[in-house]
Structure 1
Amino acid sequence: MSRPLTLVELLRHGPLPETTVYGPADSPTEIRSVRIVDRVESLDVVQPGTAVVLVGHVASAAWTVEMALRKAWEHAAACVVAAPTAVRAGSVGELADRLGVSLLLVAGEPLDTAVLLASVVAQPEAGRAALMARAAHRIAGAGHRPAEVLAALHDVLPRTSVALTGPSGDLLAGRASALHTASADVSVRVSVRDPDGGQLAALTARSQSRAPDWAATMTEVLHLAVAPLTAWAAGERLGVERSERAASALLRTLLDRDAPDTGTAAADSEPDPVLSSAVALGWATEGPLLAYALRPGVAPTTETGPLLTTWWNRAGIGGPLVAYRDVWVCWRTLEGGEPSAEALVRAERRLAAAVAEAALPWPVAGAVAGPLESLTALGPALDDAVAAAGVARPGTVVRADRAGSAQLIAALPRDALRRPAAALLGPLLAADRDGTLLRTLAVLLDVGGAPSAAAARLGVHRNTVTARLERLRTLGCDLEDPELRLPLHVACQVLLDEGR
């Protein structure tokens, strides 16, 4: 046998037309029967749990309605139902509040109301199904935008606060009060998945109602809103894929805005539309984060972005790819529990492998920066990654905090330095027929002049490097001269890059 319909379910999702309620509106009282009362004396035989529908003489005056309320209280009736025209004095509503008896003033003919009530009470599960059908219709008609979807949820879940939050708990739409639950409140949470099946956001609903199964009802209604919110995210991503400028503009807005407090939204906080759009696109908003930059070895064209994006998605590193300051940048959340230092090393190695094997019509240089604790530090981290990518050689990756002398020297203007470099190394170039001495000099300068380290990098014996070092000194390349060391290093890089 199905559970009887409760008064709160009837008021929130029942078939009644426009209804005004005096007295408790969230009573968990079960409605077990419906009785039409047209005489005052009939009120003496009302059974507990009865919905009393007043018609005729007993519904014609305020004093008879007050008498019906008192009798309903004495006999534990579920509620009293009357037409709005039956109540003209404020004392009737005050009495309903004082007695704790629900008085429902329903628009339309009382006999029609009685028939509706009897149908719902006789088939409570059908009434609950109609409830969900109306909720689905209202939510479907709201569209896909989060603000409209949340407004529809508030319409079908009265006296209930609902909020849409991002992965870090930031309020995206709805009411922040839904995130602060008192011990007596009923609270439920439903996950919202993105178009790829990942975690996008969460819907949280809070209600003070103590009606039976109300948590299950809220959960079922929230699930109706998941599909339109997923569709919203899919639409946002499709729009950005069609326009690189849209993603770039959103990133600039995200970086330029005043950084909000992270974590659970305060009770008086407002939804953040910029963060909402970022979440819809699948952009990471919760730290710790890693930042990436990619610099293609070609002047940007309309094909550069799509080609990079396709390759990036196949590389599987994760995160968005957005045009930013003549390069493309990306950021992603670190995997849970992964140490930050180790994560940065792994990210550098993984990106280096992807860049080295990139099947693109031009080489790519990359950089990694981070880790950063939260989204508020994304701007500086992206700037660091962009700067590091600017000094990285094509086909290589540089960590923003590990850009060495070779990368910095490689960023210097080669055309202006080529002739001075050749003049400085003239004697060496004249004697170095196969380039062995030039490469040895460059490696020795890279490792600080240590023969053993240079031998390991060159793959030769230490004595071989020592012999070449003596030969270099005779050709005017004295690594012990502090004023000569930097010019020699710059000259080696310029000439070696020219020969590649």
Structure 2
Amino acid sequence: MSRNRTPEPLSVAELVHFGPLSSARAFAADHLDRQVSRVALVSELDQIRQCEPHAALVLHGSAALGAWAVESALRLAWERNASCVIAPAEIAVTSSTAQLAERLRVPLFVVEDPATHALELSAAVADTEAARARLTARCAVLFGERSTVRDILGVINSEVPGVTAALVADDGYVIAGRSAAGRPDGGHRVRVPVPGPDGRPWAELVAQLAAWSPSWVETVELILRLARAPLAASVGRSWLAIAHQAASERLLLQTLLRGEDVTDPARDAGWRLDGRHVAVVLRVAERSVQAEDSTTPAVIVAWRETFAHLPLVPVEDGWAAWWTDPEAEPEEVAAQVRDFLNPVRVPLELTAGVGVAGEGVNGLRRSVAEAQLASAVASRIGGGAVELFGELGPRAVLACLPVTEIAAAAQVALENLLGAPDAEVLITALAALLDCAGSTGQAAARLGVHRNTVLGRIERIRARGVDLDSPDQRLALHLACYSLLSSRGWRS
């Protein structure tokens, strides 16, 4: 905290949460945001009329003789804009007294020894930095004793007065803590980035403050920074456990897909091998940031939030899962996966391939292989794409081709065609025509245009030096068109 600025007075809430009033019995406890600039030991009610605003009034002597005196003190405290009233424990606080405190919004505290509390309050109010340092130290100790994200957030929300905290993802999703802190509307906020296990910013620790002052903001920010290391450690432990499990399951799935009998270990892992399976393989879109080993836990955590009952196992170039259900259909599975890919909370553009339904272990092996081929096709389209192997048919074989190298050669061979202002339109039309074995009518239906439009595009293609009549060139043209459409993100 800056030594060049006089720290703001403590609030009643601070005195309750980590100060002399922590053990006091409280009434009207929802109104603790008032600051306390001084402490007044009051033995006569008339003395309250001389008190300055923002004082904590400690009653003793004749000022504390019965509930009527306390109620009179509350009224006078309200008139003088006092911060709170503190009375001795021997006074029985009636329901009418409690209601009066609530109606006047003046906090009332009952303590065993008012004189001792007056001294302790005066010391705390006189040295606010020391009081806030005690709060910071207490939070640091409690952070060290907590092991989960939820418990660490709980320390902030329970110990720091007037603060509502949450761990929030980049897209505003509240990972843990109180959702009110994550809402963008209203209130003063303190934000501190939280690194993930890889050291890069992973989320943001957000605290909403009921009361604002420069000194209090610095205190809250310091507490949030102290929470970052325990939060990162907690996330790291959970991610390490997920990564360890994922590595084991990857070896198990590889063994299963090779045709070896791993029925018992697979069932121990909770996998269902009998019945009807539809496999799915997730893969990162080719034109996005590529996946690293450190992203596997994030993908698995996001998957579990949506499909808690389904395994997600790392495979080459992606992650595999499968639905086991007598009525499972690839189209229905694809629809569910599309919904998952839309709001997925991982810093990756994911795509997916869906295999054909298969029975038993052999059917599962085949469905996974099909899903891998379909996912390769989807990855070249872009984030969120889902391809079904059953709809691709033999075209899935194209997923195995070195598209980047073929596209580079195609750029040279079809330089004149690619130089046309409407190159994308012409390449798309050429690909459709070749897909339809030269039928202009089918190509037009596929492109959603009139047949004459296709004929006009064919003439422009011919004018650019492309020979459509040579059987020897059709396969090369077909591959060239496919590679260009895939590498440039054009849709056929």
Query: In structure 2, what is the equivalent of residue 10 of structure 1?
Result: 15
Q: Deviations over 1:148-167 (max 9, x none)?
A: 12222221135543322334
Q: Deviations over 1:231-257 (max 9, x none)?
A: 0121123223433367769x9xxxxxx
Query: In structure 2, what is the equivalent of residue 151 of structure 1?
Result: 154
Query: In structure 1, what is the equivalent of residue 397 of structure 2?
Result: 408
Q: Which of 276, 296, 318 in structure 2 is aligned with 1:320?
A: 296
Residue 88 in 1 paired to residue 82 in 2? Answer: no
Query: In structure 1, what is the equivalent of residue 284 of structure 2?
Result: 290
Separation in structure 2 between the aligned mates of residue 29 and residue 404 of structure 1, nearest angstrom: 71
Q: Deviations over 1:350-375 (max 9, x none)?
A: xxxxxxxxxxxxxxxxxxx9x96443
Separation in structure 1 between the aligned mates of residue 66 and residue 154 of structure 2, nearest angstrom: 39
Query: In structure 2, what is the equivalent of residue 99 of structure 1?
Result: 104
Residue identity opposite 1:58 in structure 2: A
Q: Deviations over 1:78-121 (max 9, x none)?
A: 32212343243122222223334332223x32222112101111
Change (3 A) 1:60 1:330: farther
Separation in structure 2 between the aligned mates of residue 455 and residue 45 of structure 1, nearest angstrom: 98
Separation in structure 2 between the aligned mates of residue 410 and residue 25 of structure 1, nearest angstrom: 64
Task: Give the share of equivalent positions with the same residue, in percent.
Answer: 29
Separation in structure 2 between the aligned mates of residue 372 and residue 223 of structure 1, nearest angstrom: 33
Structure 1 residues 27-426: aligned runs within 5 Å:
28-106=33-111, 108-141=112-145, 143-158=146-161, 160-183=163-186, 185-209=187-211, 214-244=216-246, 290=284, 319-320=295-296, 327-330=315-318, 373-375=342-344, 381-383=352-354, 387=370, 389=372, 408=397
Residue identity opposite 2:166 in structure 1: A
Gaps of 5+ in 1: 252-287, 293-312, 332-368, 412-446, 458-500
3-state secondary structure, aligned to 1:101? coil
Change (3 A) 1:71 1:246: farther
Change (3 A) 1:50 1:162: closer
Separation in structure 2 between the aligned mates of residue 182 and residue 38 of structure 1, nearest angstrom: 46
3-state secondary structure, aligned to 2:8? coil
Change (3 A) 1:5 1:171: closer
3-state secondary structure, aligned to 2:102? helix
Residue identity opposite 1:198 in structure 2: R
Q: CA deviation at 1:54?
A: 1.5
Alignment TM-score, normalising by the size of structure 2: 0.53
Residue identity opposite 2:164 in structure 1: S
Change (3 A) 1:236 1:76: closer
3-state secondary structure, aligned to 2:36? coil
Query: In structure 2, what is the equivalent of residue 347 of structure 1?
Result: none
Residue identity opposite 1:375 in structure 2: V
Separation in structure 2 between the aligned mates of residue 212 and residue 179 of structure 1, nearest angstrom: 22
Separation in structure 2 between the aligned mates of residue 150 and residue 9 of structure 1, nearest angstrom: 18
Separation in structure 2 between the aligned mates of residue 389 and residue 99 of structure 1, nearest angstrom: 69
Residue identity opposite 2:344 in structure 1: L
Residue identity opposite 2:87 in structure 1: A
Change (3 A) 1:452 1:71: closer
3-state secondary structure, aligned to 2:190? strand
Check whether the contact 2:31–2:107 (CA below 8 A) recurs between aligned residues: no
Q: Deviations over 1:460-492 (max 9, x none)?
A: xxxxxxxxxxxxxxxxxxxxxxxxxxxxxxxxx
3-state secondary structure, aligned to 2:16? helix
Q: Deviations over 1:387-435 (max 9, x none)?
A: 3755999xxx995879896973999xxxxxxxxxxxxxxxxxxxxxxxx
Change (3 A) 1:375 1:289: farther
Separation in structure 2 between the aligned mates of residue 91 and residue 212 of structure 1, nearest angstrom: 38
Gaps of 5+ in 2: 1-5, 254-281, 301-310, 320-337, 356-367, 382-386, 401-467, 479-492
Check whether the contact 2:132–2:219 (CA below 8 A) recurs between aligned residues: no
Change (3 A) 1:86 1:137: farther
Separation in structure 2 between the aligned mates of residue 326 and residue 24 of structure 1, nearest angstrom: 53
Query: In structure 2, what is the equivalent of residue 470 of structure 1?
Result: none
Change (3 A) 1:209 1:326: closer
Check whether the contact 2:41–2:60 (CA below 8 A) recurs between aligned residues: yes
3-state secondary structure, aligned to 2:21? coil
Change (3 A) 1:200 1:448: farther
Q: For the aligned residues, what is the CA RMSD? A: 4.8
Residue identity opposite 1:132 in structure 2: T
Alignment TM-score, normalising by the size of structure 1: 0.52
Change (3 A) 1:168 1:231: same
Structure 1 or 2, whichever has the larger Rg, is: 1
Check whether the contact 2:283–2:351 (CA below 8 A) recurs between aligned residues: no
Separation in structure 2 between the aligned mates of residue 119 and residue 319 of structure 1, nearest angstrom: 52
Q: CA deviation at 1:325?
A: 6.9
Change (3 A) 1:98 1:389: closer
Change (3 A) 1:407 1:374: same
Aligned residue pairs total: 324
Separation in structure 2 between the aligned mates of residue 215 and residue 389 of structure 1, nearest angstrom: 52
Separation in structure 1 between the aligned mates of residue 202 and residue 12 of structure 2, nearest angstrom: 36
Change (3 A) 1:60 1:238: same
Q: Deviations over 1:48-101 (max 9, x none)?
A: 333221223432411121222233334333322123432431222222233343
